[in-house]
């Protein structure tokens, strides 16, 4: 009976190995087919976005932008999209992944009207760490609704302060991860903005923006930091990390109007050659003045996805 059991076990193992040997080529074939489909959809999406951005009337822009969004959603039906390098699409929108592999965003902007105001769109692929499946979360831009105290408001994915994100900074707080996001906003024909935002996931795949994390000596603790500066200038906001310190270093803004030195925010301000920063201490960003830092290339174009080293 023992020898019969051993023979049966060998037979079972041989069948299992044969099944796997047939399965692996099939998986490779399907994966390759998916990648080819993703490349095809990427080119279709790029064409739609170019068309949306060249139209002057709101109805035409809106129609083409909706078609572009539907194409992005179609891309998100493939798991391979989460790790695929979108060489062409990434030149037009932000397609960045979180360093911890928790989510990826597809984030873009449209410029509307004579005043060249920007509206933002974002679809997020969130990976379930247990099942490996993906949930799609849409962010809805309500930045035009906020006029006062937006730096002190807690927001959600349903009520989002829209921008283009170019850097994601995971921060571990106990067993949970809090994210700090760096973003750019073309705002309008007079000024641009840079945003330092915080984000975390709630239990039901919902997002909360605006953890009270930004401290300074003279101000209340802020939930996000927003810099507004003249359209004619560029501003650097950059994350830097060493073995000893984590910092967000940024250009200090001052008035560009002679005789109005007290203006340091808005269309009449710009970088003055000095730098300030936020240093991470015990889960909070603490503001420091007069940081010694040297910037690299700065983000200029309104449509290309920003990069962390700009």
Nearby residues of 135 by Cβ (< 8 Å), 6 or more positions away: 125, 126, 128, 205
Cβ proximity of 90 and 106 under 8 Å: no
Maximum pairwise Cα distance, the chain: 101
> Locate tokens 């994390």: which residue?
213
Question: How far is residue 141's CA from residue 127's CA, in Å, rounded to a whole number?
Answer: 23
Cβ atoms within 10 A of the Cβ of 44, count?
15
At residue 295, the pLDDT reads 41
At residue 127, the pLDDT reads 86
> How sure is the predictor about 261, in pLDDT bands with cuts at 50, 70 and 90?
low
User: Is 285's pLDDT higher than 60?
Assistant: yes
Nearby residues of 249 by Cβ (< 8 Å), 6 or more positions away: 236, 237, 238, 240, 275, 276, 277, 291, 293, 295
* Sheet strands side by side (includes 103-112): 103-112, 117-127, 134-140
pLDDT tens by residue, 144-154: 887 778 999 99
At residue 37, the pLDDT reads 94
At residue 259, the pLDDT reads 65
User: Is 301's pLDDT higher than 70?
Assistant: no
pLDDT tens by residue, 68-121: 999 999 999 999 999 999 999 999 999 999 999 999 999 999 998 777 889 999
User: Is 45's pLDDT higher than 80?
Assistant: yes
Nearby residues of 19 by Cβ (< 8 Å), 6 or more positions away: none
State residue 56 phi and psi, 5-degree precision.
Answer: -100, -25
pLDDT tens by residue, 194-235: 999 999 998 778 899 999 999 987 778 999 999 999 999 999
User: Is 1's pLDDT higher than 50?
Assistant: no
Residue 203 vs residue 181, higher pLDDT: 181
State residue 69 phi and psi, 5-degree precision.
Answer: -60, -40
User: Is 8's pLDDT higher than 80?
Assistant: no
Question: How far is residue 70's CA from residue 136's CA, in Å, rounded to a whole number?
Answer: 13
Task: Give the residue-averaged pLDDT of 230-246.
Answer: 93
Average pLDDT, the chain: 84
Question: How far is residue 199's CA from residue 31's CA, in Å, rounded to a whole number?
Answer: 33
Most confident of 8-22, 142-156, 272-286: 272-286
């Amino acid at each position: 009976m023992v020898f019969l059991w051993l023979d049966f076990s060998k037979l079972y193992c041989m069948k299992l190995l044969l099944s796997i040997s047939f399965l692996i080529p099939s998986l490779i074939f399907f994966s390759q087919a998916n990648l080819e489909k993703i490349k095809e959809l990427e080119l279709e999406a790029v064409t739609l976005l170019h068309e949306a951005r060249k139209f002057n009337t709101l109805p035409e822009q809106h129609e083409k932008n909706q078609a572009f969004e539907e194409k992005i959603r179609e891309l998100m039906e493939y798991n391979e999209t989460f790790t695929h390098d979108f060489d062409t699409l990434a030149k037009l929108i932000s397609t960045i992944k979180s360093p911890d592999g928790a989510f990826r965003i597809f984030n873009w902007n449209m410029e509307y009207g004579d005043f060249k105001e920007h509206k933002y769109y974002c679809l997020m692929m969130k990976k379930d760490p247990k099942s490996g499946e993906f949930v799609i979360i849409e962010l809805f831009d309500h930045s035009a609704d906020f006029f006062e105290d937006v730096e002190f408001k807690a927001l959600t994915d349903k009520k989002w302060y829209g921008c283009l994100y170019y850097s994601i900074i995971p921060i571990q707080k106990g067993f949970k991860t809090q994210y700090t996001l760096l973003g750019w906003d073309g705002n309008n024909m007079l000024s641009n903005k840079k945003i330092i935002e915080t984000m975390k996931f709630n239990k039901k795949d919902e997002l909360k923006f605006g953890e009270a994390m930004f401290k300074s000596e003279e101000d209340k603790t802020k939930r996000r930091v927003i810099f507004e500066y003249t359209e004619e200038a560029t501003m650097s906001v950059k994350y830097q990390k060493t073995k000893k310190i984590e910092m967000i270093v940024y250009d200090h803004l001052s008035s560009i109007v002679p005789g109005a030195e007290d203006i340091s925010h808005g269309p009449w301000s710009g970088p003055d050659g000095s730098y300030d920063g936020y240093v991470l201490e015990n889960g909070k960003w603490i503001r420091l003045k007069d940081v010694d830092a040297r910037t690299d290339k700065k983000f200029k174009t309104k449509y290309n996805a920003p990069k962390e080293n700009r």
